[in-house]
Amino acid sequence: MIALAVNQIIGFVAYTSRPFLIGLGHQLIDHRPSSSFPSNHGTIVFTYAMALAFCRVWRLSLAVWCLGLLVAWSRIYLGVHFPMDMVGAAIVSTIAAFVAHQIAVRHAGVILRQMELWTARLTPIRR
């Protein structure tokens, strides 16, 4: 959520046209003319990869990074993103995953206690 919120802010503040909007290359799929930088698709995949890396799940993180590179290549090939859109997505993802990891490490106890209280209130009592 952090990464996608940052993407929305960047897209609003610094709108970047997509390649097909400026007549560059061929657009192979329909896409709305929203801001190109950074890529939401790339951000989602790279955020998963970085979250796994911060949790020290190296092999799975590497596998998801490879998947992210495929997503990045496909979005560029389809004509809806520039390569720098994907680099921006990777940077936003790394920062957002780091922030989320720091919040989780520092406040995990409080967050888990609150979740337990909410679950106890929402769960019907069984006898």
Is the residue at 127 inside a domain? no
More confident residue, 47 or 104: 47
Is the residue at 94 inside a domain? yes
Q: What is the CATH classification number for the domain harbouring 49?
A: 1.20.144.10
Reading the block at residue 32, the tokens are 């709305």
pLDDT value of position 26? 75
Domain count, the chain: 1
Q: Is the pLDDT of residue 62 over 80?
A: yes
Average pLDDT over residues 10-33: 81
More confident residue, 35 or 68: 68
- Residue 98 · residue 54 · CB < 8 Å: yes
Question: Which of 108, 96, 111 lies closest to 48, judged by CA?
Answer: 96
- Report pTM: 0.79
More confident residue, 119 or 72: 72
- Structural domain that includes position 11: 2-122
Q: Is the pLDDT of residue 35 over 60?
A: yes
pLDDT value of position 126? 60
Average pLDDT over residues 76-104: 94
